[in-house]
A and B are shown apart, each in its own frame.
Chain A
Amino acid sequence: MTDSKYFTTTKKGEIFELKAELNSDKKEKKKEAVKKVIASMTVGKDVSALFPDVVNCMQTDNLELKKLVYLYLMNYAKSQPDMAIMAVNTFVKDCEDLNPLIRALAVRTMGCIRVDKITEYLCEPLRKCLKDEDPYVRKTAAVCVAKLHDINAQLVEDQGFLDTLKDLISDSNPMVVANAVAALSEIAESHPNSNLLDLNPQTINKLLTALNECTEWGQIFILDCLASYLPRDDRESQSICERVTPRLSHANSAVVLSAVKVLMKFMEMLPKDLDYYGTLLKKLAPPLVTLLSAEPELQYVALRNINLIVQKRPEILKHEMKVFFVKYNDPIYVKLEKLDIMIRLASQANIAQVLAELKEYATEVDVDFVRKAVRAIGRCAIKVEQSAERCVSTLLDLIQTKVNYVVQEAIVVIKDIFRKYPNKYESVIATLCENLDSLDEPEARAAMIWIVGEYAERIDNADELLESFLEGFHDESTQVQLQLLTAIVKLFLKKPTETQELVQQVLSLATQDSDNPDLRDRGYIYWRLLSTDPVAAKEVVLAEKPLISEETDLIEPTLLEELICHIGTLASVYHKPPSAFVEGSRGVQHKRLPPRAGSGESTESPDVGQSGPSEAPPAVIPSQGDLLGDLLNLDLAPPTATVPSVQPSMQMGAMDLLGGGLDSLMGDESDTVIKLSERGTAMPASLGGAPAVGGGLGDLFDLGGGVGMPTGSYVAPKTVWLLAMKAKGLEISGTFARRGGIIQMDLSLTNKAMSVMTDFAIQFNRNSFGLAPAGPLQVLTPLSPNQTIDVSLPLSTSGPVMKMEPLNNLQVAVKNNIDVFYFSCQYPLSLLFVEDGKMDRQVFLATWKDIPNDNEAQFQIKDIHLNSDVASNKLQGSNIFTIAKRTVEGQDMLYQSVKLTNGIWVLAEMRIQTGNPNYTVNGNKET
């Protein structure tokens, strides 16, 4: 019999033919046809049209045919609920069949048909089957209750099936018990507080008895259920552990892991001075090691779990280092996990072996693995002080191989070693510097720059090295830029005489030519520090750094506890709580380890007690990536928030700074010429000359100096609008932004008073463009003292209009539980530039001519180091669209259009002379 032929019929009119065959009188032909239908179903063809014909084949004594029809029903019943009712009678009849296999088949299938109407009919047969004389039927019915609960939970409760299910825990047949436990556990998961499982010493005893007798799968269900029980005292805990330990010798790895879970959890309750506690610890190691001779997929699951166990109880596997040595033919996912555990187990006793292995791995083929091995060597150095010297020399050997990624990885870890053991291994810096040119990864470049900056006084040509990085400053990634900035400032503070030019260069690159706010901020902070008080700068920038901690990559203790409760499951594989990857109510419950045994502390036996991390959780350093981030930022001791409010014109601020000791950094500056003579026709005459327009445009160009995202509109930094002393402790700072066509007011509310603030509300006075809040102020939580909340308030332009002086002035009232406060602020005009402000070329030409000269204004914007294309792009980000561009006598002429929310068009001609940082703008306005 070759059933494969069913997969190959793909001709047209197939459904029609099948229909005929299904209705054939010949049994054989019918069966063939059903097989074809199932084959089509498997490959994803829609054969639901055959529903009535297939269901007609259901009434048969041929068990094979019946099963096929059932399979079809389970797939399509949902799409044809009315037709599915046709099948009910057969099901009900089958549930009464003499053959227990058929009774079970019927109840099993019925539960899989997710049609409301059918479930009603299911109740009676299910009730009977739950009390069937045959255990095979009962165990099937037990699972069916879970199925029904998934479809209609209320029905299951109303019909009292939950109680029947609970009764099945006392069934004489172990498999019935196991399935009942599985079903109850699943139902209980969706009712976290129902106490459905109601585990007590009697039921636990029943479960433990069934544990010895049921199938391997049943043992897993029971063990997983046991793990959620909380024993009353240490004695009960011990007696359960004693009855669970034999499972550690089961051939099924899942049984072993679930048993480990129960033991790890209940062990928490045992006093550490108990002999049994030590015995138990010893019993856990061998089965865990045995898991490593399973198939690779299971090894992977086991290793992910061992990783958790080693963090929770390092003493269990501390002598088993060798079994985690990587084999040449291990799949990569096993190799990487083994490596992780090797580092966790590394100690003074075994470090020599571990290092020899790691060095071996560093010559392998898989890039990820090699990188991780190199990184591991560094971690060993940090973890085991005695080995640091050997680790460093091993790393140097690896650098000599000149394999690009090995060198880079080595440099990254050597930087960490310097952080741990300052002033010890600096002799290797020369070797590192030789490899400067081969570094192409940001992390490695950043690490190298950090090293050069940190030890600038010992590197003769530190300035040359750093200068070489500076050439391509804009192509570097942010972390390299930040690091370079810090390193050069360090260098300057150490060797101020020779490096003044360099530091000016980097500060101007960071503050003026960068789009990255972090970089800009850091640049300004250094700038101010250096210009106001170089001594303070030295204290801050060259401050002593705290040593980094020994253990890295540890899982945060509360998460670790939760994951220990999930040993063996997906959560322990992902190292994430179930709520992170399970939808809905299931698994949201956070499991916790039982409280530690009471008097343990004082009576601890010294040999097992000291290494338990539960008593003294080590400071956790989140992950490698974050760690590095911290390291790099560490130089910058004062956080940005403590810097006084940023002034509106950053460039002006920067120039002020220059006066304080450093030479003029901006170079030759031309005169500032802003001629502005504008007159509106639609808007009253006073609009002309209003600072709003000039200021707005100036701000827009300020983004040429580095703020804002390249494609987004310009957002000014937040300024303080309402001082705390004027508003009973409430300080408000804010700015405006246009994001995706929506105007937003970004506010930071800070409570500087002693009492909690609540009930925030906001209102605007009438204003020139009808700005009004589009929704209430969303401050959901009370604002406690010294807390700051950031809110974004969407604005609309449909509010009442009244001309303000200046035009862009906005008067705001903010209310809270204490009082009402008023302040006024000014919004940039660019806030009102709409996205569809691109005028058609022809229309532009015509309009340009038609606008009377009176409506024209001219002014200059100075000191913009951008060419016309970049400028045009930046402006487009703020909805100023370039309609045309022409080049006349070395001057670029850009023609631009802007549309305001109230329908006013502004046309502009911008003249840009190459090499001249000043732009000339001719503005035209039209309604």
Chain B
Amino acid sequence: MIGGLFIYNHKGEVLISRVYRDDIGRNAVDAFRVNVIHARQQVRSPVTNIARTSFFHVKRSNIWLAAVTKQNVNAAMVFEFLYKMCDVMTAYFGKISEENIKNNFVLIYELLDEILDFGYPQNSETGALKTFITQQGIKGQHQTKEEQSQITSQVTGQIGWRREGIKYRRNELFLDVLESVNLLMSPQGQVLSAHVSGRVVMKSYLSGMPECKFGMNDKIVIDKQGKGGTTDEPGKSGKQSIAIDDCTFHQCVRLSKFDSERSISFIPPDGEYELMRYRTTKDIILPFRVIPLVREVGRTKLEVKVVIKSNFKPSLLAQKIEVRIPTPLNTSGVQVICMKGKAKYKASENAIVWKIKRMAGMKESQISAEIELLPTNDKKKWARPPISMNFEVPFAPSGLKVRYLKVFESKLNYSDHDVIKWVRYIGRSGIYETRC
């Protein structure tokens, strides 16, 4: 199991050091600093073995978190734990920075004591932790016996993510379907790989212990219902449904039920959380198509022309469009002409950045640039990094639709109809690249 956990600043100074196991000595702190943080070479692996001691590290801005062990631990668990640790810290004091860590070191030690016992991760749900670990440390003394046992039963209980007795005047929930669409396209316009990784994020403000059921246009579910003899035309429902390659759920979702019936039922945590993640690869709507044209004119000049085409309903508007066209390292000057938006050559980033605020569907826009090059005797050819694109569209590129989210709370007197529900779809670019 995890033998110790260290947090360093960018210089390699220790901010937090907590050792859980006897086999980890103080010298481990220095070993990591010398061999990884101060290493001359770029880090080649997130797992480092120094003198039979293994170090797992993640970096958040310029803070290093390192878990240390001498045993054959579950490596995936260690990284999941480090991410979780970052989430918990962020939930408590915001951004992970040297200043925030120094300001909250007592709190961090308290958290580390609670969520890692002898190197075994314990309940690390912020919702539960916040009921008894607080920044002021005032709670604990003035709690009644009921409150205390409520805390412990929540921390260890089956529904560790939600406490009882939550009350809202207005029962409300927000569902965000957030998708990032990833594309790798060849210069000839052939799709080399494309997938959507989506998340359903829920903000719930519901009283009591509500039982929820979430439904979407999952092909398997809809096909099953179609077979069941409903009046829907099979062809029509087939079109509207999507094939989900794989999905994962927040721990509140009953996985065995999903496995057997493919229904998503759960008691949600209070506030914001990620209900599910999913991935699709079939029938993806690619919101933009990038058509590059690069021509080398002699040894000192490049002509670049890039056309982008929007490929969705004309009534919808894409936003925050940015096209990034890489330029060679020996670029001396760039002249750009674009029909729409603004384009600028950024020497420090070795790229032409073309920004368009808004663009409707089924439109086309174009940029052309002349790149002057310094003559070099460098034998090595320019690697031609791909043209990348960023955007945001108000629909789900995977075609996912929320069909329903039903709320049942038998003990309190509100019904599904009383809950105000909001749904929104946002499609963003993930790694959206076209080779040129």
Contacts and interface: CB of A to CB of B under 8 A. Distances in A.
Contacts of A112: 20, 118
A423 interface: no
B49 interface: yes
A62 B184 CA distance: 58
Given A297-B79, A582-B71, A246 B152 contact: no
Contact of B70 (A1, A243, A582): A582
B110 interface: yes
Contact of B137 (A64, A186, A217, A300): A64
Contact of B16 (A4, A42, A108, A570): A42
Nearest to B145: A98
Given A42-B15, A364-B383, A571-B72, A300 B49 contact: no
Contacts of B254: 212
B435 interface: yes
A101 B132 contact: yes
Contacts of A375: none
B52 A251 contact: no
B141 A143 contact: no
Contacts of A25: none
A425 interface: no
B72 A566 contact: yes
Nearest to B135: A1
Interface stretch (A288-296, A306-314, A780-788): A288-296
Interface in A281-306: 286-287, 289-290, 293, 295-298, 300-302
A847 B106 CA distance: 77
Contacts of A99: 140, 143, 148
A773 interface: no
B152 A251 contact: no
A252 B29 contact: no
Contacts of A668: none
A108 B117 contact: yes
Interface string B393-434: 000000000000000000000000000000000000001010
B24 to A, nearest CB: 12
B174 interface: no
Nearest to B104: A3
Contact of B251 (A143, A215, A257): A215
Interface string B102-142: 11111001100100011011111100000010010100110
Give the bracket for the number of chain B residues in contact with chain A. Answer: 35 or more
A298 to B, nearest CB: 5
A724 interface: no
Give the bracket for the number of chain A residues in contact with chain B. Answer: 35 or more
Contact of B103 (A1, A42, A212, A364): A1
A35 B121 contact: no
Nearest to B128: A215
B431 A327 contact: yes
Nearest to A247: B255
Given A323-B193, A333-B44, A403-B379, A174 B152 contact: no
Interface stretch (A444-452, A572-580, A820-828): A572-580
A418 interface: no
B214 interface: no
Given A63-B137, A186-B1, A246-B255, A295 B79 contact: yes
Contacts of A143: 117-118, 120
B121 A217 contact: yes
Given A4-B99, A111-B118, A327-B184, A402 B106 contact: no
B436 to A, nearest CB: 12
A215 B117 CA distance: 14
Contacts of A293: 197, 277, 279
A91 to B, nearest CB: 15
B109 A68 contact: yes
B17 interface: yes
Interface stretch (B221-229, B242-250, B335-343, B365-373): B242-250
A43 B135 CA distance: 22
B277 A301 contact: no
Interface string A652-666: 000000000000000
Given A325-B193, A364-B383, A403-B379, A62 B137 contact: yes
A216 B249 CA distance: 11
B233 interface: no
Interface in A232-249: 243, 245-247, 249
B376 interface: no
B72 A570 contact: yes
Contacts of A70: 113
A4 B102 contact: yes
A63 B258 contact: no
A136 to B, nearest CB: 4
A856 interface: no
B80 A43 contact: no
Nearest to B83: A295
A765 interface: no
A300 B47 contact: yes
A415 B192 CA distance: 31
A134 B26 CA distance: 36
A322 B186 CA distance: 14
Interface stretch (A156-164, A175-183, A518-526, A789-797): A175-183
A667 B151 CA distance: 96
B14 A251 contact: no
Contacts of B102: 3-4, 7
Contacts of B156: 135-136, 139, 173, 175-176
A104 B117 CA distance: 11
Interface string B143-164: 1010011011101111010000
A154 B21 CA distance: 19
A641 interface: no
A289 B76 CA distance: 15
A114 B46 CA distance: 32
Contacts of B388: 328
B385 interface: yes
B29 A44 contact: yes
Contacts of A566: 72
The residue in B76, B82, B248 that gathers the most chain A C-beta atoms within 10 A of its C-beta is: B76
B381 A38 contact: no
23 contacts: A38-B105, A44-B14, A44-B17, A64-B106, A68-B109, A70-B113, A136-B152, A173-B157, A179-B122, A212-B256, A217-B77, A217-B81, A245-B259, A300-B45, A323-B193, A327-B431, A329-B431, A333-B46, A365-B383, A402-B379, A574-B49, A583-B52, A587-B71
Given A67-B110, A251-B250, 18 more contacts: A3-B106, A70-B113, A101-B151, A112-B118, A135-B153, A136-B155, A216-B80, A217-B120, A251-B274, A256-B248, A290-B247, A298-B83, A322-B193, A401-B381, A568-B77, A574-B49, A581-B54, A583-B23
In the A-B complex, the 3 residue pairs with the smallest Cβ-Cβ separation, listed nearest first, are A64-B137, A286-B246, A4-B102
